[in-house]
Amino acid sequence: MPAGRYAPSPSGDLHLGNLRTALLAWLFARASGRKLLLRYEDLDAGRTVEGSDNRQWQDMTALGITFHEQPVYQSQRGKEYDDALTQLRERGMVYECFCTRREIQEAPRAPHAPPGAYPGSCRQLSEAERARRRQERNPALRLLAGVDEYTVEDQLLGPITAGVDDFVLVRNDGAAAYNLAVVVDDQLTGVDQVVRADDLADSAPRQAYLRGLLYGSDAAEAVSYAHVPLVVNGEGKRLAKRDGAVTLAELAEQGISPEEVRDQLLGSLGLPAGDLQQALEAFDPQALPRDPWVWSPA
């Protein structure tokens, strides 16, 4: 059975923006006959907050968001990432990179390259130079990309074209990087629908490109994308925990129930209040608001 997914980082409680995206992932999956999976992206141990995974699950359940299987934890999937990396290594598509962030930012790059794109500084290092640099710094591993850009089709945004540089596959601490882990997990768990906030839209082309390299063009082209608008504060900035009472627990302290939060989120999407099944019956992706939802404490 094909699947959608919601994939938060267990770095604290979900705020209203996270919950709205989770709600949309549920609606998109159910409306298209897919199951919905939950994946915790916990590869960055320094950001993981103990117990937040369970609190996130409880908050989503309180809104009526349900999942078909037990959660997947990226921290438990090292073998899957290693297998994918081995495949790319055997094809000569991986190389060591010793650059610091500052060196990348200050390096000259082609005029058409987007800001922050990796300029390929370590592509042509000799084996002797790599051996010398290993004594100074553990390398990250980068993909030797064969294209400059890639395009995916999004249900809400239309075609998304973005640059594909030699992005990181494994960080210099040995952990799989975001783009590799996401692609491997989506493919191996049957995810062919990606619903997430639209600030991540630019990452879709590089992930689709990598999915095609690892699993074939059919696998890459089969993915349905829907990048949904953010929730922002009164200043138009992405909603964050510093904006006040933005989690279910904080809102409960003000006497606002999960059902009231659910209804407010549904209203922001132009959907009827109440049980999510009613919202599902009225759900039309093309009728969704395309602008960010401005949330106010009032």
> In 3D, which of 241, 255, 244, 238 has the Cα closest to residue 294?
238
Query: Angle CA(261)–CA(264)–CA(268) in degrees, nearest 5?
Result: 140
The tokens of 280 are what?
Answer: 């599902």
Distance CA 207, CA 7 (A): 15
Mapping DSSP to helix (H, G, I), strand (E, B) and coil, where does residue 193 land? strand
Name the phi and psi angles at 5, rounded to 5: -155, 155
pTM: 0.93
Q: State the number of CA atoms in the 13 A half-sphere of 69 facing the CB.
A: 19
**Would you identify the CATH topology of the domain 3-76+229-294?**
Rossmann fold (3.40.50)
Mean pLDDT lowest among 163-167, 231-235, 272-276, 286-290: 231-235
Distance CA 186, CA 202 (A): 17
Q: What is the mean pLDDT of residues 104-127?
A: 79
CATH 3.40.50.620 maps onto the chain at 3-76+229-294
Q: What digits encode the pLDDT tens for the residues 13-54?
A: 999 999 999 999 999 999 999 999 999 999 988 889 999 999
Q: Would you give the DSSP letter of residue 231?
A: E
- Asked if residues 142 and 97 have their Cβ atoms less than 8 Å apart, the reply is yes
Q: What digits encode the pLDDT tens for the residues 241-261?
A: 777 779 999 999 999 999 999
Query: Angle CA(222)–CA(156)–CA(223) in degrees, nearest 5?
Result: 10
Of residues 21 and 120, more confidence is placed in 21
The tokens of 132 are what?
Answer: 């010398």
Q: What digits encode the pLDDT tens for the residues 190-214?
A: 999 999 999 999 999 999 999 999 9
- Asked if residues 65 and 99 have their Cβ atoms less than 8 Å apart, the reply is no
CATH 3.90.800.10 maps onto the chain at 78-178
Q: Which superfamily does 78-178 belong to?
A: Glutamyl-tRNA Synthetase; Domain 3 (3.90.800.10)
